[in-house]
Amino acid sequence: MTSDLNRQDSHREYDYFPGDGYPGDHHSLRLRRLSSRRSIPNIPHYNPSSSDGGDSEADNQGQPRELRGLPQHMAIKKAKLKSRGILVPVLSKAELWKQDKLKKLQKLQNKAREFLYFLTLWGKTLQKIGGNFGGGVRSYFLFLRFLVILNFVSFLLMAGFVIIPSLVFRQTGVSFMNSNSTAGEEKCTIYEPNPPGLVVFYDYFLDLLSGTGFMEYSFMFYGYYNNTMVEDRNFSYKISLAYLFTAIFYFAFCLICIITRMGSAARVAVATGGSTVVNYSMIVFTGWDYGCLGDTATKLKQKNLLYRLQVDLEEERLKKHAASLTLLQKFGLHSLRLLMFLLVLGLNIAAFFGIFYATSYSQNQSAGKESDGVQALFFEYLPSIVISAGNFLVPLLCDQIAKVEHYSPSITVIVALLRAVVLRFVGLGVLLFTLWDQITCTGKINDEKCKLCRYNYDSYPCWETRVGQEMYKLTLFDLLINIAVLVLVEFPRRMVVDNWSSKISQLVGRQEFVVSANVLGLVYSQTVVWTGAMFCPLLPLINTVKFVILFYCKKITLFSNCRPPQKTFRSTTSAFFFLVVLLLGWMLASVVLIYSIAVIRPSLGCGPFRFYDSMWSIVPKSLNSLPAVTQEFLFFIGSQAFTIPLFSLSSLVMFYVIALFSIYGKSVRLLRQQLKGESRDKQFLVKQIEELSQ
């Protein structure tokens, strides 16, 4: 009985009259449904024995047309669907076997995708962070995961081509190449980093922190590697050549990874177009993840969508407020922003001078050997202390200044990031400039200190190792500062706020997770690693461990000490800008690498390039040992006959991509305007229906 009723309900149809439309268009949709007992003479019926033109045409082509594309009544389509399922065999045995294999392959792909998602580094943690704190905070942790993977792959590259071959060739007792140093330069070839004698135990700890002592002549730093060469009948390997090209390929690999990730982030930014309306539509209609399993994942996804909607509403509110300002109010706002810019510039200049004097004083004290123990360690870390203090205090003041400037949340993050970028990158540049000034005697080769060895040998017998030590100390000190802030500042602040009910504690409140400052800390750390990777090959591995520790420290402080941000921002544009800042750090490190390879003379007492006028000198000498055909091919690649057409072709491709990008942007804008027009038409039709129904 129940099945009969269900069958009767399934055969209900709309009462349709050709030319007249539905009766009572202005009435409710529920009134349009009629009982199945009522006869409908105007609906055409389908005869399975007969075929229409559409089916005959499809049969001639060998494939039945899709029912959705047939211009026929719905009742006929339903009848055709039933008749096809009962009377006509849709697929042959071979096609059924092929379809079955495709289904199994698709099922296997889905299982593999689920397995890879399970193996994704910190996948569930990132989902939890995005649900509780929004996409902006989650973008920081995604950026951190990207840098962890990048540094680990870079370490594998360094280990495979430089570190492991150097250790193996040392153990096999391979002889080194003879020295080509001229008369009078014998003094410059003396390098004794480990003086003989007993060493107190706590000196090992100090050496571990400063990179001196037993660590200075280890495979961590440049001075440990020799100009080793292995030759056999079918095998030849030069450590010096491998060292140089591995460093170059390491930088090229990092650049490719950054540009690839920037492309994916730019596609998302172009798709949303920075438009609140389009982003709102994407969230409402396509934002839900139907793969959420369990109540926890569902609630996290709901919170994530809520934060994204808050971002759009806040952006729209600020746009309306900016559009309602008068001319005088706009003049006052821009004048205030100019004044704040000058104040920030003054703070940065003061920080730069502090870094310059601290680095000069530290280098002079270290060269003089007038102190030892903890005092010597303090002088070693003095530049790192001043840089970290400036990086902490100046952005803190800039954040307070940004509250007066009244930017939107996304623009506030970008402005704060730009200011901190200038501070940290220029601060690192001041440190490197000070080291260059001390090593090369301000570029004066005829100076008394640099005349013999063409660099300041008395203060820097192995200047590459010294630069690597400075980058190592910056990396280690940054990690120690992050752990100390977590233990000594953030946890006590949360305990005071939670357990002490006073006006001061309520005014201070729990801290917010400042995305711009934390992202810049990652970019700064990665720039330091890129700068020192040439002189400290293990620095990518150290940075990988540091970032893993930093991830868990930031996760703990995020869930234990931080509250959800009061002002959220859009993560699509910010993720792209984070990568732009990272690219700027790569460019700064590339300048250091190119100058070190091409200009400064390598140390004569250490390293794989000790017998060359520059690190790049080994490349033409190695090319001379190649066969004549190979030399001609490489010289042709470096000639104008090849580079000029390559540059022209690259320019054409670049202009084509730019033109394609602009066309896609115009298409997106036109589609957005069409969507707005359709929405206005729908609103007009709804109003007309409401007026007719009254």
Predicted confidence band at 169 (pLDDT cuts at 50, 70, 90)? confident
pLDDT at 539: 92
Asked if pLDDT for residue 423 goes beyond 70, the answer is yes
- pLDDT, mean of residues 435-445: 79
What is the C-alpha to C-alpha distance for residues 580 and 583, in angstroms, rounded to an integer? 5
Structure tokens at 552: 């868990």
pLDDT at 20: 41
Angle at 649 between CA 646 and CA 654, to 5 degrees: 120
CB 382 within 8 A of CB 474: no
Phi/psi of residue 122, nearest 5 degrees: 60, 35
CB 614 within 8 A of CB 598: yes
Picking from 430, 433, 434, the residue whose alpha carbon sits closest to that of residue 422 is 430
Asked if pLDDT for residue 568 goes beyond 70, the answer is no
Predicted confidence band at 545 (pLDDT cuts at 50, 70, 90)? very high
Phi/psi of residue 194, nearest 5 degrees: -115, 95
Q: What's the pLDDT tens digit per position in 271-284?
A: 655 555 556 666 67
What's the 3-state SS for 340-356? HHHHHHHHHHHHHHHHH
Rank 359-363, 429-433, 568-572 by mean pLDDT and report only the highest.
Answer: 429-433
Query: b/e for 403-429, b at 16 or more Cβ within 10 A?
Result: eebebbbbbbbbbbbbbbbbbbbbbbb
pLDDT at 253: 92
- Sign of the torsion angle spanned by Cα atoms 144, 147, 153, 154: negative
Angle at 427 between CA 421 and CA 433, to 5 degrees: 130
Which residue did the predictor score with more confidence, 534 or 60? 534
- Kindly state the greatest CA–CA separation across the chain: 115
What is the C-alpha to C-alpha distance for residues 364 and 376, in angstroms, rounded to an integer? 12
Of 289-293, 379-383, 624-628, the range with the lowest mean pLDDT is 289-293
What is the C-alpha to C-alpha distance for residues 3 and 186, in angstroms, rounded to an integer? 103
Picking from 540, 516, 519, 518, the residue whose alpha carbon sits closest to that of residue 528 is 540
What DSSP line would sit under 15-71, residue for residue?
A: --BTTTBSS-TTS-GGGGB--TTS--TTS----TT---HHHHHHHHHTSPPPGGGS-
Contact partners, residue 1, CB within 8 Å, separation at least 6: none
Which residue did the predictor score with more confidence, 9 or 356? 356
pLDDT at 371: 55
pLDDT at 9: 42
What's the 3-state SS for 374-405? HHHHHHHHHHHHHHHHHHHHHHHHHHHHHHHH
Asked if pLDDT for residue 132 goes beyond 70, the answer is yes
What is the C-alpha to C-alpha distance for residues 585 and 526, in angstroms, rounded to an integer? 8
Asked if pLDDT for residue 296 goes beyond 60, the answer is yes
What is the C-alpha to C-alpha distance for residues 331 and 344, in angstroms, rounded to an integer? 20
Of 48-52, 239-243, 304-308, the range with the lowest mean pLDDT is 48-52
Q: What's the pLDDT tens digit per position in 241-250?
A: 888 999 999 9
pLDDT at 37: 40
- pLDDT, mean of residues 441-462: 78
Of 69-83, 147-161, 372-386, 427-441, the range with the lowest mean pLDDT is 69-83
CB 424 within 8 A of CB 520: yes
Picking from 342, 485, 357, the residue whose alpha carbon sits closest to that of residue 419 is 342
Residues in the chain: 694
Q: Are strands 236-238 and 511-512 parallel, antiparallel or unpaired?
A: unpaired
pLDDT at 17: 39
What is the C-alpha to C-alpha distance for residues 273 and 672, in angstroms, rounded to an integer? 10
pLDDT at 19: 40
What is the C-alpha to C-alpha distance for residues 417 and 414, in angstroms, rounded to an integer? 5
- pLDDT, mean of residues 300-307: 72
Asked if pLDDT for residue 689 goes beyond 70, the answer is yes
Predicted confidence band at 297 (pLDDT cuts at 50, 70, 90)? low
CB 168 within 8 A of CB 604: no
Structure tokens at 243: 């060292």
Rank 155-164, 221-230, 266-275, 433-442 by mean pLDDT and report only the highest.
Answer: 155-164
pLDDT at 198: 56
Predicted confidence band at 200 (pLDDT cuts at 50, 70, 90)? low
Contact partners, residue 601, CB within 8 Å, separation at least 6: 453, 454, 455, 613, 614
Picking from 410, 400, 403, the residue whose alpha carbon sits closest to that of residue 319 is 410
Rank 404-408, 467-471, 571-575, 624-628 by mean pLDDT and report only the highest.
Answer: 467-471
What pTM was computed for the model? 0.71
Structure tokens at 241: 């050549």
Asked if pLDDT for residue 15 goes beyond 70, the answer is no
Structure tokens at 96: 């059924």
pLDDT at 579: 85
Q: What's the pLDDT tens digit per position in 482-540?
A: 888 888 888 888 888 877 777 776 666 777 787 777 888 888 899 999 999 999 999 99
pLDDT at 543: 93
pLDDT at 358: 81
pLDDT at 64: 53
Q: Is residue 524 classed exposed, middle or buried when 0-12, 13-18 and 19+ CB atoms within 10 A define those classes?
A: buried
CB 244 within 8 A of CB 619: yes
Of 109-123, 286-300, 554-568, the range with the lowest mean pLDDT is 286-300
Asked if pLDDT for residue 470 goes beyond 80, the answer is yes
- pLDDT, mean of residues 284-304: 65
The chain-wide mean pLDDT, for the chain, equals 75
pLDDT at 436: 84
Structure tokens at 492: 């006590």
Predicted confidence band at 431 (pLDDT cuts at 50, 70, 90)? confident
In the chain, the percentage of residues whose pLDDT exceeds 70 is: 73
CB 206 within 8 A of CB 373: yes
CB 357 within 8 A of CB 383: no
pLDDT at 291: 53
Picking from 475, 568, 463, the residue whose alpha carbon sits closest to that of residue 515 is 568
pLDDT at 544: 94
